[in-house]
Amino acid sequence: MSVSDEILIIANQIANQGKKPSIALIKTKLSTSVPLPLIISTLKTWQHDREFIALKYEKPMAMKKEETKENANTLNIAIENALIPFKQEINTLKLEVAEIRKQLIKAC
C-alpha cells in the first residue's frame, strides 16, 4: 500500500465516523512517519469515498496465508519422504549392532 493510499483510507475512515479529517488525526493513525507536506497535498486532493476504507488486495493476502499453509504441508511431506531412507538405515544399523552384541556375549 502506498503512503497516499493509506492517507486516503484513513481520511475516509475518519469521515465515515462523522468527523472532519485533519492533518493531526491522520498523522496519529499512520503506520509510519510521513512528512507533513505529503499529508497536506494528499488531503487537498482527497474526496470522500465511503467505500475506500481498505485496499482491494487484502482478500488475496488471506489467500496467501492459505497458500503458505499448503506450502508448509508440502514441505513437511517432502522432508518426511527425504528422511525415510535415513530412518531405514538407522533401523538396519540398530539390528546389526544388536547382532554384534549377541555375538560378543556368546564369545565371552
Q: Tell me, what's the pLDDT at 62?
A: 57
pLDDT digits (tens, 9 = 90+) for 21-77: 999 999 999 988 999 999 999 999 998 888 887 766 554 555 566 777 888 888 999
- Cα 91 from chain centroid (whole Å): 39
Are 51 and 69 within one domain?
no
Are 83 and 44 within one domain?
no
Q: Tell me, what's the pLDDT at 56?
A: 61
Residue 5 has pLDDT above 80, yes or no: yes
Are 49 and 72 within one domain?
no
Are 70 and 105 within one domain?
yes
Question: Alpha-carbon distance 50 to 18, whole Å?
Answer: 11
pTM reported for the whole predicted model: 0.50
Are 50 and 64 within one domain?
no
Residue 17 has pLDDT above 80, yes or no: yes
Are 88 and 108 within one domain?
yes
CA distances from 70 to 52, 59, 63 (A): 31, 17, 11
Are 29 and 47 within one domain?
yes
Are 63 and 49 within one domain?
no
Are 22 and 37 within one domain?
yes
| Span 80-95, average pLDDT | 96
Count of domains for the chain:
2
- Residue 15, domain extent: 1-55
Are 78 and 108 within one domain?
yes
Are 51 and 67 within one domain?
no
Question: Alpha-carbon distance 7 to 29, whole Å?
Answer: 9
- Comparing 92 with 66, the larger pLDDT belongs to 92
